[in-house]
Chain A
Amino acid sequence: MHSPNAVLRRLKQLLYFAVAVTAFVVPEAHDLHAQTPKPTEYEVEAAYLSNFGRFVEWPARAGAATEPFNVCVLGADPFGPLLDAALKGETIAGAPMAAKRISKPEEAASCRIVFVGSVKDSQLNGILQSLRVSNALTVSDMSGFSRRGGMIQFVLDGNRVRFEINLAAVQRTGLTVSSELLKVAQAVRRAP
């Protein structure tokens, strides 16, 4: 049986060795991402967000035609520059798409799509309630989002990103979604 001291000494040696190897290796190590050709789910979710606008009709609103088509992120932002990159150069009915970060549901008035980042479970009902007035399409990857009144929820199916639609919630807001979107959705929650 080795004494704990001997084990510790060995651990130390190993750590020194690892550090030495590291120092040797630093110039070689770059471009980690080139090794992982698979995108993360956030890249795919950002791509979806740049697409959804084509399959939804918003109720007519004064001045809407001249505004940018804002995709807003409420709460913790999992996308970073990904979302901006996904929206760059895209237009919907002539309106340029842009990403916007907001911290309160009240700021959603100029948003066509609101992605709800991770928020506390207990706050979700309140957030969804406040977002209703903005006529925005609400999207999230929180579990239970569509069940609790959110419109589109991303779900992981194995290692693919799919989405569910709560059609009843969409219709309550006066939005119309195309049948094509419903066809692609993994599940559609209709009014009971």
Chain B
Amino acid sequence: MLFRTRFIPSFLLFAVAASAQQQPDAASQGRLKGLSLEELGNVEVTTVSKGPVKLSQTSAAIYVITQEDIRRSGVRSLPEALRLAPGVDVAQIDSVKWAVGIRGFQSRLSRDILVLIDGRSVYSPLFHGVYWEVQDTLLEDIDRIEVIRGPGGVIWGANAVNGVINIITKSAKDTKGTLVSAGGGNADQGFLDFRQGGGNNDGFSYRVYGKGVDDGPEYHSDHQQFDDWRRAQGGFRTDWDVNTNNSLTIQGDIYNGVSGENVKVSTLTPPYLANVEANAQLSGGNILTRWQRKLKDGSDIQLTGYYDRVNRLQANQAEYRDTFDVDFVHHLMLRRQNFIWGLGARLSPAKVPTIIPTYFFTPDERTDQVYTAYAQDDFALVPDKFTITAGAKVLHSSFTGFDVEPGVRALWTPTARSSFWAAVTRAVRTPSDTEDTLNNTSVVSTAPLVYSVTQGDGRFTSETLIGYEAGYRSLISKTVSLDIAAFFNSYDHLQSLEPAGAPFSEDLAGTTALFYPYINANGIKGTTAGTEITPSWRPVSWWRLQGSFSLLHMDLRTIPSSQDATTVFTDENSSPHHQARIQSYFNLGRNLDFSLTWRYVGALPYYLVSGYETGDARLAWRPKRHIEFALTGQNLVQPRHFEYGGDPGALVGIRRGILASLTFRK
């Protein structure tokens, strides 16, 4: 199994189903006549063969969100786009924040999901998760988003526990020309996207882009309209085919944003507890370079290095982080084997200065380090019929020392149109600064005055998962395909909060306060099980239907020595246990597209969010070749609905959104 960005196919099963029935268009052949060999090599094609074959031969629950899906569904941000994949739990907390999970453990920062943008990890070692609001790019420049449900530790390493999300942007070769897109609406109040690309005939291509977004607040029944949000981002990418065997990519992004937020601040002086409405200052940037070299016999090597900067200043905390990362991959094609091995190192020095005295890290400067080595072999026991994949990653992190993530996968392809796969994999979530060095004093009650004091004791260890998975894929007919995956995940050492000694009282300027000390421990274990069913159907060439149904059952418990009475309930009840989605894409003639989406998401009892269903629609019209008008409606079924909690104050209602946009592409 080749789990590395460029080996993964970009087309879905339904793409085959769709194309299989299309008769080749003999009339269009005329335009290729008379082209030289060299010119033929530069013709861009729509691939209909390679992707699906490989996807059907992958022994993992992978789903690929294509550029077409992103564009036609009218999504405006990366988390929204992730809704297009089965088994991903995506909820909007407010205008700025999102909660994302895969196969459970949905949370504001997605602690069990590793997210990579063109191979650059955006997983924060400070708060074990991803700040979704600052992960962005020009959505038109995304080639595809690969969503892998299930542990991916063998290739990707730490924190790829419940899944991996690979966001892959297009090569600069494929973004030549001008793009300008602007629009506005009631929720997404205004946006402007711009891109210019070009290149020469010696294999050098480039693009530069910029975007600005102004989002209005969502619905607040308590009129705390704190979550307005403005941001700007720019970047570039160059791709250079140095010669037939070597290519070099250099890319970078820079962003700056101001997001309104409402945070709970505990103090040791009156009023002890306050909700502070303030603007978070979020900025950062990155630069990445990747060298790829093709070797003999289809083998290749790849060397990637990047630098990433994060600046985050909030009302209650701050983080200033530099990350330096180097990765090497060698992929060998042998007679019946695909062998891949790699090495990686990451250094991430950060400053986390104290903003409020009840929330601080000791020390407030720290360098996180991770070193990894891995190898994986794909062996065809019976060529074209039965393949075994085995591998392991060894990692050494500055938090816990050594961890090993082994995995075994099997793929059986009885016919070219169907396959069965099964896998057993181990993955770990390494501790973060939050569990290790954060000291958090938080008001539990103001009268009487009671605080909890939570800190790490240096003994918090990695959360572990052994995942058992199986799946079936089939092209049932030329128009229907089906993908079914089932999993049984066995977790151990999950995070719990344990009382640490007896409560003590202190006199705070005349008022007696009671302090309950807690430490972060690994006192929870348990299992989750579930299935995702992803059918697709293209009844006629101009109509495509894509469905997905996801079921989840979580069964966690505390270990005997644990006294944590709340975390099991929290973890089990903050991810939806049922989800369904149907996506319908119509081509209404050559200049008109229409898409409809319906989705159902089950309840989140912990946040008092009930199950809901809603829908989106998008109509796009191209009066001229280069111009497109689009009208997008989101969450149309009701004026507002609740998706997740987490902000202080009343639950934030996600509003019905209408957005009009005009796009020029040339």
Contact = CB atoms under 8 A, between A and B. Distances in A.
B587 A159 contact: no
Given A1-B610, A147-B297, A80 B24 contact: yes
Given A79-B24, A82-B24, A186-B244, A42 B48 contact: yes
Contacts of B587: 29, 32, 35
A44 B32 contact: yes
B30 interface: yes
Contact of A11 (B45, B541, B582): B582
Interface string A39-76: 11111101110110001000000000000000000000
Counting chain A residues whose Cβ lies within 8 A of the other chain, the interface size class is 35 or more
Interface string B2-45: 00000000000000000100111111111111011110111111
Contacts of B580: 7, 11
B383 A43 contact: no
Contacts of B543: 22, 29
A144 B337 CA distance: 12
B43 A161 contact: yes
B600 A32 contact: no
Given A30-B589, A141-B49, A187-B244, A180 B43 contact: no
Contacts of A28: 588-589, 592
Contacts of A186: 41, 244
Nearest to B36: A51
A159 B35 CA distance: 17
B629 interface: no
A82 to B, nearest CB: 4
A33 B22 CA distance: 9
Given A41-B45, A80-B23, A33 B28 contact: yes
Contacts of A55: 37
A55 to B, nearest CB: 7
Nearest to B600: A7
A2 B600 contact: yes
A67 to B, nearest CB: 23
Contacts of A44: 32, 40, 43, 45
B294 interface: yes
A78 B297 CA distance: 25
B45 A48 contact: no
Nearest to B171: A158
Nearest to A34: B590
Contact of A29 (B43, B174, B589): B589
Interface string B229-272: 00000000000000011000000000000000000000000000
A75 B25 CA distance: 21
Given A2-B611, A47-B35, A82-B26, A41 B602 contact: no
B603 interface: yes
B3 to A, nearest CB: 17
B29 A161 contact: no
Contacts of B42: 160
A41 B37 contact: no
A187 B300 CA distance: 13
Q: Which of B25, B30, B543 has the most CB of A within 10 A?
A: B25
A181 interface: yes
Nearest to A188: B244
B207 to A, nearest CB: 14
Nearest to A122: B383
A85 B30 CA distance: 8
A2 B171 CA distance: 44
Contact of A38 (B27, B46, B296, B596): B46
Given A47-B29, A159-B44, A40 B24 contact: yes
A47 to B, nearest CB: 4
B582 A29 contact: no
A81 interface: yes
A122 to B, nearest CB: 6
A122 B47 CA distance: 25
Contact of A31 (B244, B245, B578, B589): B589
Contacts of A187: 244-245, 294
A10 interface: yes
B86 to A, nearest CB: 16
B27 to A, nearest CB: 8
10 contacts: A1-B602, A10-B598, A40-B47, A44-B45, A46-B32, A47-B29, A50-B33, A85-B29, A156-B45, A184-B38
Given A41-B47, A46-B32, 19 more contacts: A7-B600, A14-B582, A29-B540, A29-B543, A31-B589, A31-B590, A38-B44, A42-B48, A44-B40, A51-B36, A51-B40, A80-B24, A81-B26, A82-B26, A82-B29, A86-B32, A147-B298, A160-B43, A162-B41
**Shortest beta-carbon contacts, A-B, top 4:** A47-B32, A85-B29, A85-B26, A81-B26
Interface of B: 19, 22-33, 35-38, 40-50, 171, 173-174, 244-245, 294, 296-298, 333, 383-384, 416, 540-543, 545, 578, 580, 582, 584, 586-590, 592, 594, 596, 598, 600, 602-603, 610-611, 613
Interface of A: 1-2, 7, 10-11, 14, 18, 21-22, 25, 28-36, 38-44, 46-48, 50-51, 55, 78-82, 84-86, 118, 120-122, 141, 143-144, 147, 156, 158-162, 180-181, 184, 186-187, 189
